[in-house]
């Protein structure tokens, strides 16, 4: 028989439990509270009926397709996608101020439009059934314009997740969270949000809906777009610009900003020690709260064991408190910021010259790494590439970074920095080479952002191995292309190692991290043979020997190398 008179809200259930608790305490039955009732009350307080809050996430171009079809069928706008940004904003604001819906009864919309709207409708049902905390955020991948945000508000309105109109007393159930991913997007993050909140009714909408604004920052695609140093520098600048913007909104509308860091396991995707990463955030950007992602096998290594999981959570809390309460006595000086900007530009130039401007680089990458074999593993939620091409720009960031780890070059975690330092030291100006070296050393000593970035590069370089990488390069059939690109990578590796030594004074990798140095020394003799085995199996597989044993051998070697390297999620 189905349960009768079920609780609609977790708060109602919690109120009854507290009544029972108070009654027991007032009747001298406190001994009955602690063993079972108190833990149940605490569980309801934390988990409600939903257990864990769910995020929705979809790419901005998918929303545009849905809106375009809805408007075309309703005969409001025949070609929405062809409109410029200004026209889109005017049209979308008008629709958000119109109480009528867009869907036409009896029309058979495309499977894509029906599927996307069904997800919004499922979110509404989920919130009704399990409570408002069951789902709170809608993340928009590839946010590039203000209209990307307005489109999601319009789709929420279409299914009843936005009540009323912007010019009245609108309230939205889901926080619209932009995700800024590429270098250009990070640079435009603050201007986009400024324009969004300048629209009539938007600031009041957010204030009525909880006065919270999450903004997600993408570490993976920005790294693949501009390299390790530029990615971190543009993230740093974007955070500062966003905080300055929302300080104004906090004063005018009491809207609070929460930054959401989309980090992965590899250093190239924002990985590395979480404690140092939080402390390296720009001063004033943490403010008692932040969100971050944990991905890949990093989840298992950090949280599979309850004691280790608790220790990692304590580390995150401690770092958040420290970053909030203990502001650094010495922040980045104008000289530091200027030097970082110069390093960033030179680093990005060197990185993009290799990855996006070198003829044949994509062929080299696909040939010298086990990317195609990784794509066959049943371990990802999405295909390795966004399109059926071999263009680097279409490749997703996770397989990009994972592949470089498998061939032991770990290129996304260091490439470009050596050339950047070399270029910085060669600049003509008031400062001599000696003074510029002293400036970089001072930055490493006094600036947590710069010190953490160099520390992560040090760790990545310690896990790289040019000798093993050269074995993978032999998989590239074009000898001339192989030698050209590998020699370029090897030269940059040497420049980066020399630059780190010049700045930090360390003579060897991980000189200041004896525990990790010892761990790598013990682990790597076991995974080095796996690399040689993997190269041979990949060679056979690509030559046509594609039986089940060869495939299984490749997949086992991929898993073993990832487990040994760590920081690969």
Return the CATH number at 251. 3.20.20
- DSSP-assigned states of every residue in 61-105: HHHHHHHHHHHHHTTS-TTGGGS-HHHHHHHHHHHHT--S--PPT
CA 366 vs CA 371, 407, 472, 513: distances in Å? 6, 11, 11, 34
Distance CA(561)–CA(534), nearest Å, equals 9
Kindly give, in sequence order, each residue whose CB lies less than 8 Å from that of residue 377, ignoring residues fewer than 6 positions away.
555, 558
* 128 and 92 co-located in one domain: yes
CA 158 vs CA 124, 533, 562: distances in Å? 11, 55, 45
As to burial, measured by CB atoms within 10 angstroms (0-12 exposed, 13-18 middle, 19+ buried), residue 476 is buried
- Asked whether residue 128 is assigned to any structural domain, the reply reads yes
Of the three residues 325, 358, 386, the one that is the final residue of a domain is 325
* Residue-level pLDDT at 377: 67
* Residue-level pLDDT at 176: 97
- Asked whether residue 543 is assigned to any structural domain, the reply reads no
Three-state SS for 138-181 is EEEECCCCHHHHHHHHHHHHHHCCEECCCCCCCEECCEEEEEEC
* 305 and 211 co-located in one domain: yes
**Would you write out the chain's pLDDT as a tens digit for each of its 569 residues?**
666 788 888 999 999 999 999 999 999 999 999 999 999 999 999 999 999 999 999 999 999 999 999 999 999 999 999 999 999 999 999 999 999 999 999 999 999 999 999 999 999 999 999 999 999 999 999 999 999 999 999 999 999 999 888 888 899 999 999 999 999 999 999 999 999 999 999 999 999 999 999 999 998 889 999 999 999 999 999 999 999 999 998 888 899 999 999 887 666 566 677 888 888 888 888 988 889 888 766 787 788 899 999 999 999 999 999 988 886 655 789 999 999 999 999 999 999 999 999 999 999 999 999 988 887 765 555 555 565 566 788 888 888 888 999 999 999 999 999 999 999 999 876 678 899 999 999 999 999 999 999 999 999 999 999 999 999 999 999 999 999 999 999 999 999 999 999 999 988 888 888 888 888 888 889 999 999 999 999 999 999 988 889 989 999 999 899 888 876 65
* 365 and 227 co-located in one domain: no
Counting the structural domains of the chain, the total is: 3
- Asked whether residue 549 is assigned to any structural domain, the reply reads no
pTM for the full model? 0.91
Of the three residues 308, 325, 342, the one that is the final residue of a domain is 325
* Residue-level pLDDT at 12: 93
- Let me know: does 266 contact 380? Beta carbons within 8 Å: no
* 318 and 355 co-located in one domain: no
H-helix or E-strand spanning residue 113: helix 111-130
- Asked whether residue 362 is assigned to any structural domain, the reply reads yes
- DSSP-assigned states of every residue in 233-292: HHHHHHHHHHHHHHHHHHHHH-PEEEEEEE--SSGGGT-S-HHHHHHTSPTTS-TT--EE
- Asked whether residue 496 is assigned to any structural domain, the reply reads yes
3-class DSSP assignment, residue 509 = coil
* 68 and 30 co-located in one domain: no
As to burial, measured by CB atoms within 10 angstroms (0-12 exposed, 13-18 middle, 19+ buried), residue 107 is exposed
* Residue-level pLDDT at 389: 64
* 372 and 233 co-located in one domain: no
* Residue-level pLDDT at 470: 96
- Asked whether residue 522 is assigned to any structural domain, the reply reads no
* Residue-level pLDDT at 251: 84
Residue 327: alpha-carbon gap to chain centroid: 25
Kindly give, in sequence order, each residue whose CB lies less than 8 Å from that of residue 97, ignoring residues fewer than 6 positions away.
165, 166, 167, 201
Alpha helix (H) residue ranges in 505-547: 514-542
Distance CA(239)–CA(186), nearest Å, equals 9
Distance CA(181)–CA(194), nearest Å, equals 18
* Residue-level pLDDT at 362: 93
Distance CA(357)–CA(488), nearest Å, equals 13
Residue 199 has which token pair? 């629209």
* 121 and 41 co-located in one domain: no
Distance CA(183)–CA(356), nearest Å, equals 14
Distance CA(283)–CA(285), nearest Å, equals 6
3-class DSSP assignment, residue 309 = helix
How many alpha carbons fall within 13 Å on the CB side of residue 475?
Answer: 27
* 447 and 420 co-located in one domain: yes
Dihedral sign computed on CA atoms, order 318, 321, 325, 328? positive
Of the three residues 275, 291, 325, the one that is the final residue of a domain is 325
- Let me know: does 261 contact 270? Beta carbons within 8 Å: yes
As to burial, measured by CB atoms within 10 angstroms (0-12 exposed, 13-18 middle, 19+ buried), residue 197 is buried
- Asked whether residue 455 is assigned to any structural domain, the reply reads yes
Distance CA(486)–CA(472), nearest Å, equals 10
* 207 and 233 co-located in one domain: yes
Distance CA(96)–CA(154), nearest Å, equals 6
Distance CA(335)–CA(431), nearest Å, equals 11
Backbone angles phi, psi at 545, to 5 degrees: -85, 75
* 40 and 58 co-located in one domain: no
* 89 and 210 co-located in one domain: yes
Residue ranges making up the domain that contains 23: 15-47
- Asked whether residue 27 is assigned to any structural domain, the reply reads yes
Distance CA(440)–CA(445), nearest Å, equals 9
Dihedral sign computed on CA atoms, order 55, 400, 272, 520? positive
- Start-to-end Cα distance in the chain: 46
Dihedral sign computed on CA atoms, order 16, 22, 28, 34? positive
* 42 and 141 co-located in one domain: no
């Amino acid at each position: 028989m189905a349960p009768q008179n079920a609780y609609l809200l977790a708060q109602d259930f919690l109120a009854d439990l507290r009544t029972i608790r108070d009654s027991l305490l007032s009747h001298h039955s406190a001994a009955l509270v602690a063993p079972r009732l108190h833990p149940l009350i605490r569980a309801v307080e934390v988990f409600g009926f939903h257990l864990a809050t769910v995020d929705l996430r979809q790419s901005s171009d998918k929303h545009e397709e849905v809106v375009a079809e809805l408007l075309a069928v309703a005969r409001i706008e025949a070609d929405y996608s062809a409109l410029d940004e200004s026209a889109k904003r005017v049209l979308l604001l008008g629709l958000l101020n119109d109480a009528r819906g867009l869907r036409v009864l009896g029309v058979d919309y495309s499977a894509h439009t029906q599927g996307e709207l069904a997800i919004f409708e499922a979110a509404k049902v989920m919130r009704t059934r399990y409570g408002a905390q069951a789902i709170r955020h809608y993340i928009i991948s590839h946010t590039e314009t203000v209209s990307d945000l307005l489109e999601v508000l319009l789709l929420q309105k279409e299914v009843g997740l936005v009540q009323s109109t912007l010019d009245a007393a609108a309230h939205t159930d889901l926080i619209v969270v932009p995700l800024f991913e590429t270098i250009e997007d990070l640079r435009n993050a603050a201007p986009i949000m400024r324009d969004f909140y300048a629209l009539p009714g938007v600031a009041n909408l957010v204030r009525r809906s909880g006065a919270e604004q999450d903004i997600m920052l993408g570490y993976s695609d920005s790294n693949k777009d501009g390299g390790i140093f530029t990615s971190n520098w543009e993230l740093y600048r974007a955070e500062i610009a966003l905080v300055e913007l929302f300080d104004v909104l906090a004063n005018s509308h009491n809207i609070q900003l929460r930054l959401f860091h989309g980090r992965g396991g590899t250093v190239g995707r924002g990985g590395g020690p979480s404690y140092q990463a939080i402390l390296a955030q720009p001063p004033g950007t943490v403010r008692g709260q932040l969100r971050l992602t944990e991905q890949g096998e990093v989840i298992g290594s950090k949280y599979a064991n309850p004691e280790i999981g608790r220790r990692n959570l304590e580390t995150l809390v401690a770092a958040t408190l420290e970053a909030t309460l203990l502001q650094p006595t010495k922040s980045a000086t104008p000289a530091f910021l200027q030097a970082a900007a110069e390093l960033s530009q030179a680093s990005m130039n060197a990185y993009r010259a290799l990855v996006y401007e070198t003829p044949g680089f994509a062929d080299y990458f696909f040939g010298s790494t086990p990317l195609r074999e990784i794509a066959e593993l049943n371990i990802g939620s999405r295909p390795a590439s966004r399109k059926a091409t071999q263009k680097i720009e279409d490749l997703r960031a996770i397989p990009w970074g994972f592949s470089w780890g498998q061939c032991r070059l770990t290129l996304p975690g260091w490439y470009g920095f050596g050339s950047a330092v070399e270029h910085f030291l060669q600049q003509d100006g008031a400062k001599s080479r000696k003074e510029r070296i002293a400036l970089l050393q001072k930055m490493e000593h006094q600036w947590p952002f710069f010190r953490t970035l160099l520390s992560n590069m040090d760790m990545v370089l310690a896990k790289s191995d040019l000798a093993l990488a050269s074995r993978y390069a032999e998989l590239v059939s074009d000898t001339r292309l192989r030698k050209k690109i590998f020699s370029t990578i090897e030269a940059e590796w040497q420049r980066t190692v020399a630059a780190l030594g010049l700045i930090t004074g360390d003579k060897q990798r991980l000189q200041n991290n004896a525990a990790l140095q010892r761990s790598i020394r013990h682990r790597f003799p076991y995974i080095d043979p796996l690399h040689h085995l993997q190269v041979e199996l990949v060679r056979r597989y690509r030559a046509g020997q594609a039986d089940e044993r060869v495939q299984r051998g490749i997949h086992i070697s991929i898993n073993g190398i990832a487990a040994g390297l760590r920081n690969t999620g």
